[in-house]
């Protein structure tokens, strides 16, 4: 007999997020993973990440267990999912279901730690949420932030993320253009990722890949970004909150050493998965002490709820 789950589907910059909740969520993590991957795949709701929303423990308001389509496993943190959750708390009945109101701060427990959703309203603008990502920043530094070279191209390892400046790719492949990510561009990115894996920077295959270009469409912005998490399978996310923070950390490490204070980056994202940049503006604020990032918060400008209802699966 099919199980019935409540769902909210939303997106941030085109990255599709599913929020699942209700009494039929399995207690067993293996069953959660199996169910999450099934919901993320056709003919069901489909998406990039799914989050099982659970009653809170301790001081948190909500708990979320996140399934990632790219790695086919749980992921400890997904900034974009938390952005969609913030929007859902404002616009759907999730807040009533869990007895949570979108007050100034909602604390969400992830596998990586507790994150804060900080809501704000500005005159003539919709209410929105900033996502505080200190646990992700701490994990990045715990796993290592370092300059590396992969497939002959300069890069940065930021935690589990492989971060590359498009200019460094163009220096080796001047005929590439990431405004049109064709088969040749995908093959180059795949070779870079394979060499990253071959060198053993992680204990598992990389599925966190960020590419940035410091030539934004709007000069006051910082860069255009895209996230080819699995280029050999053409799995490319047009926007990624944790990825944007990884790019910001990489830029901070290479350009503002010894700095103390707050730094803001604005990344253009959320277009086609085969074109860097787009209509979403991901704003990242880094909090830096002695050149080391100690915390970060961010928000996407383009976050929308697409559908709510029940799924039978």
Q: Using the predicted structure, report yes or no on whether residue 120 has a pLDDT greater than 90.
A: no
- 54: part of which helix (H) or strand (E)? strand 49-55
Give helix then strand counts, H and E, for the chain.
7, 18
Average pLDDT of span 207-236: 95
Q: Using the predicted structure, report yes or no on whether residue 122 has a pLDDT greater than 70.
A: no
Please give the pLDDT value at position 265: 97
Over residues 35-48, the pLDDT tens digits come to 999 999 999 999 99
The rounded percent of the chain whose pLDDT value lies above 70 is: 98
Per-residue pLDDT band for 125 (boundaries 50, 70, 90) equals low
Q: What is the CA radius of gyration of the chain?
A: 19
53 vs 1, higher pLDDT = 53
The rounded percent of the chain whose pLDDT value lies above 90 is: 88
Please give the pLDDT value at position 241: 96
Domains of the chain: 4-131+303-312 (3.10.310.10), 139-300 (3.10.310.10)
Cα distances (Å, whole numbers) of residue 28 to 5, 10, 31, 34, 223: 16, 26, 5, 10, 42
Please give the pLDDT value at position 203: 95
Q: Provide the 3-class DSSP secondary structure of residue 65.
A: strand
Please give the pLDDT value at position 210: 98
Q: Using the predicted structure, report yes or no on whether residue 188 has a pLDDT greater than 60.
A: yes
Over residues 154-178, the pLDDT tens digits come to 999 999 999 999 999 999 999 999 9
Q: Provide the 3-class DSSP secondary structure of residue 95.
A: helix
Which of 13-17, 52-56, 122-126 shows the lowest per-residue confidence on average (mean pLDDT)?
122-126
What's the whole-number average pLDDT of the chain?
Answer: 94
Closest Cα to residue 39, out of 4, 83, 84, 76? 4
DSSP strand pairing (62-68 vs 105-110): parallel
Average pLDDT of span 281-290: 96
Residue 112 has φ and ψ, to the nearest 5°, of -90, -15
CB 32 within 8 A of CB 52: yes
CB 103 within 8 A of CB 95: no
Per-residue pLDDT band for 123 (boundaries 50, 70, 90) equals low
Please give the pLDDT value at position 234: 82
Q: What is the DSSP string of 173-227?
A: -TT--TTS--HHHHHHHHHHHHHHHHTTSSSS----EEEEES--SSTTS-EEEEE
Average pLDDT of span 173-185: 94
pTM of the predicted model as reported, rounded to 2 decimal places:
0.94
Cα distances (Å, whole numbers) of residue 271 to 78, 117, 144, 180, 256: 19, 25, 30, 12, 29
What residues pair up with 10 in beta bridges, in sequence order? Answer: 17, 305
Per-residue pLDDT band for 254 (boundaries 50, 70, 90) equals confident
Please give the pLDDT value at position 263: 95
Per-residue pLDDT band for 58 (boundaries 50, 70, 90) equals confident
Per-residue pLDDT band for 278 (boundaries 50, 70, 90) equals very high
Other CB atoms within 10 A of residue 202 CB:
17
Angle (CA) 199 200 202, round 5° = 140
Per-residue pLDDT band for 124 (boundaries 50, 70, 90) equals low
CB 271 within 8 A of CB 302: no
Q: Provide the 3-class DSSP secondary structure of residue 257.
A: coil
Torsion, Cα of 286, 292, 294, 298 (10° steps): 20
Average pLDDT of span 228-248: 94
Closest Cα to residue 87, out of 125, 130, 54, 53? 130
């Amino acid at each position: 007999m099919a199980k019935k789950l409540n769902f909210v589907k939303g997106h941030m910059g085109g990255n599709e997020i599913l929020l699942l909740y209700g009494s039929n969520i399995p207690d067993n993590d293996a069953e959660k993973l199996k169910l999450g991957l099934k919901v993320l795949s056709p003919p069901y709701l489909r998406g990039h990440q799914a989050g099982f929303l659970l009653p809170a423990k301790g001081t948190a308001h909500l708990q979320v267990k996140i399934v990632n389509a790219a790695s086919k496993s749980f992921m400890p943190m997904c900034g974009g999912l938390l952005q969609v959750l913030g929007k859902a708390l404002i616009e759907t009945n999730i807040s009533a279901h869990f007895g949570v109101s979108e007050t100034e701060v909602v604390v969400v427990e992830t596998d990586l730690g507790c994150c804060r959703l900080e809501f704000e309203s500005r005159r003539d603008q919709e209410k929105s949420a900033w996502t505080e990502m200190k646990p992700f920043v701490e994990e990045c530094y715990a796993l290592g932030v370092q300059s590396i070279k992969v497939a002959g191209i300069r890069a940065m390892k930021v935690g589990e993320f492989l971060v590359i400046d498009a200019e460094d790719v163009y220096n080796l492949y001047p005929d590439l253009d990431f405004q049109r990510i064709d088969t040749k561009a995908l093959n180059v990115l795949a070779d870079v990722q394979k060499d990253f894996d071959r060198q053993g920077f992680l204990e598992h295959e990389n599925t966190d890949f960020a590419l940035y270009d410091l030539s934004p469409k709007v000069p006051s912005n910082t860069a255009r970004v895209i996230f080819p998490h699995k280029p050999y399978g053409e799995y490319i996310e047009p926007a990624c909150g944790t990825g944007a923070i990884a790019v910001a950390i990489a830029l901070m490490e290479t350009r503002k050493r010894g700095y103390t204070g707050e730094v803001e980056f604005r990344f253009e994202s959320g277009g086609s998965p085969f074109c860097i940049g787009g209509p979403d503006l991901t704003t990242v604020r880094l909090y830096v002490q002695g050149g080391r990032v100690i915390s970060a918060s961010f928000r996407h400008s383009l976050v929308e709820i697409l559908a709510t209802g029940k799924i039978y699966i």
